Amino acid sequence: MVFFTSIIIVAILYYLQADGLVYVIVIAMTAELINIFMTQTLAKSIEKKLTTQHKRITDNYAKQLQAHKKNIQEFETVQENSVKIIHRANMKIKELEKKLAPTQTPTEEKKAPATIPPPAPTQEAEAPEKFIDLPDGSNRNLP
């Protein structure tokens, strides 16, 4: 577009010389207006395309968040039901223990386990050897 416009301007200036300057300015202004309108329509189309793309992405994230919230609520209800079941089971166990406790005889009570004394040390710990930084096979006398 710019190349075509510049060729037209050069041709008009060559043939009309001084009088062609007015025509050249008019052509340059119309070419600039066309360029501005094309740039504006291009920017609008790109903006619209990016808006739809970002909207699609945000909609997908919103759907994922809703799905996660739904899953969390389902897990919370399962957890609450499980806690209730465990609580009922614990209460039943306590009731059964209370029923069983009066029927036990004193001989059936639990006996404390016998304590085992710790074993006495049989040997004393040997003294560690001195640290020697000489390589193996050294002929130097050790003090």
Alpha carbons within 13 angstroms on the beta-carbon side of residue 67 total 6
Q: What are the distances in angstroms from CA 100 to CA 14, 86, 93, 95, 138?
A: 120, 21, 10, 9, 79
- Cβ(12)–Cβ(31) under 8 Å? no
CA dist 75 and 94 (Å) reads 28
Question: pLDDT digit string (tens) for 10-62?
Answer: 777 777 777 777 777 787 788 889 989 999 999 999 999 999 999 999 999 99
CA dist 101 and 84 (Å) reads 26
pLDDT classification of 110: cutoffs 50, 70, 90: low
Q: What are phi and psi of 142, to 5 degrees?
A: -90, 140
Question: pLDDT digit string (tens) for 55-85?
Answer: 999 999 999 999 999 999 999 999 999 999 9
Q: What is the pTM of this model?
A: 0.43
CB within 8 Å of 35: residues ≥ 6 apart: 1, 2
- The packing angle between helices 2-16 and 20-100, to 10°, is 170
